[in-house]
Amino acid sequence: MQLRFVGCGDAFGSGGRFNTCFHLTGERANLLIDCGASSLPAMKRLGVDRNAIDLILITHFHGDHFAGLPFLLLDAQFSRRTRPLTIAGPQGIATKLPQVMEVMFEHSSKTRQRFDLSVVTLEPEQVSRFGDVTVTPYPVVHGESGGPFLAYRIEAEGRIITYSADTEWTDALIPAAQNADLFIAEAYTYDKMVKNHLSLKSLETHLPAINAKRVVLTHLSDDMLGRVGELPYTAASDGMTLDL
């Protein structure tokens, strides 16, 4: 399996990075984790075959994780996609998706798709299966607006990939990421406490309990980007790929 960081930036594009969008592929898996506002041009830049994607997992409804969907769905329509697509996310996704489409492109939510589109609500700690991909959401903490907020533990083809999503520290991240092959963790700041976000120092305190085989940091602020060369962990960058 392979994971590609299509975009790994924060909401403000620190370092010129695209919004969050990860592409996980394998023999039987092809999915996106989040689809921020800049995801479509980022995917086109990397030559990602959007029409081969079967599943999109959304962690929450902030624009840098969710607002790329109207562009992606219209692109699918105009490129004559026929492959079914499932979009899954927190409670409210069935109403939030048409709302954001109407804001971006009026009447687009009422256009009949050329392909079957399923919108699925995921509940915390309830396992969902999408073909050969198993997804377990965990509740995380990222403020009052734009939620609910979910981290994802994804099992596919004998590998476990966890994404923390945007969150301050919460003990739910331990079962979410425990013994994972890859833990993609927000590290917005180095040691400064920013409400609703995770610092590297806070994360490090809990890494022994998590015991992930590999940790990759994402959603880095300008402060963290200035420290990348000093960090003992891999920092994600746009276009970076990891073989699992």
From the candidates 10, 34, 64, 166, give the one annotated as an active-site residue.
64
Query: Do the Cβ atoms of 120 and 86 come closer than 8 Å?
Result: yes
What contacts 3, CB < 8 A, 6 or more positions away? 22, 23, 24, 25, 161, 182, 241, 242, 244
DSSP string, 198-219: -BHHHHHHHHHHH--S-EEEES
C-alpha dist (Å) from residue 222 to 11, 20, 42, 56, 161: 12, 16, 20, 28, 26
Concerning whether 181 is annotated as a catalytic residue, the answer is no
Q: Which residue has the tokens 């009949």?
A: 112
- Compute φ and ψ for 45, nearest 5 degrees: -60, -35
DSSP assignment, residue 16?
A: G
d(CA 47, CA 134): 26
CB 182 within 8 A of CB 216: yes
DSSP 8-state secondary structure symbol assigned to residue 112: P
Q: What are the residues facing 154 on neighbouring strands?
A: 135, 161
List active site positions.
64
